[in-house]
């Protein structure tokens, strides 16, 4: 089946540093990648939608200069958390569409747990 590989699975960084999270589609082309964030005991909230070769679309309240998304190829999308602060500590997860003909064609990465100290 379709697989999205997400790295790293967890990261601890100091305040003020930047962290890059990668999502790769291993056996399909992901023209669209969704980036979500989940705080403890909360639902997954969409941060942005990235389309290959174009600028990402950010949800209201998400700072595009802080959360940089690059979707330069059909198999790789990256999210960079710049100048991270403790309040950015969260579970970040990507999701790609795998089959336009089916309603359940979503594949999730395994998630990245970010802790900013």
Q: What is the 3-state secondary structure (H, E, C) of 19-79?
A: EEEEEEECCCCCCEEEEEEECCCCCCEEEEEEECCCCCEECCCCCCCCEEEEEEECCEEEE
Token pair in block for residue 74? 């059909």
Q: How far is the CB of 106 from another protein (least distance, A)?
A: 7
Nearer to another protein, 74 or 91 (CB): 91
Scanning residues 86 to 115, which ones bind another protein (CB under 8 A)?
91, 93, 95, 97, 99-100, 103-106, 108-111, 113
How do beta strands 10-13 and 112-116 pair? parallel
Scanning residues 47 to 86, which ones bind another protein (CB under 8 A)?
49
User: Which residues are at the interface with another protein (CB under 8 A)?
Assistant: 32, 34, 36, 41-46, 49, 91, 93, 95, 97, 99-100, 103-106, 108-111, 113
């Amino acid at each position: 089946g379709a697989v999205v590989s997400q790295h790293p699975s967890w990261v601890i960084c100091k305040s003020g540093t930047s962290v890059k999270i990668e999502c790769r589609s291993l056996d399909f082309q992901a023209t669209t990648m969704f980036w979500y964030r989940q705080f403890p005991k909360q639902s997954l909230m969409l941060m942005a939608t990235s389309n290959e070769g174009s600028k990402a679309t950010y949800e209201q309240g998400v700072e595009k200069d802080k959360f940089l998304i690059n979707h330069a190829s059909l198999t790789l999308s990256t999210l960079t958390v710049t100048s991270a602060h403790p309040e950015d500590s969260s579970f970040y997860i990507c999701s790609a569409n795998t089959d336009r003909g089916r309603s359940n064609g979503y594949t999730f990465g395994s998630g990245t747990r970010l802790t900013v100290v």
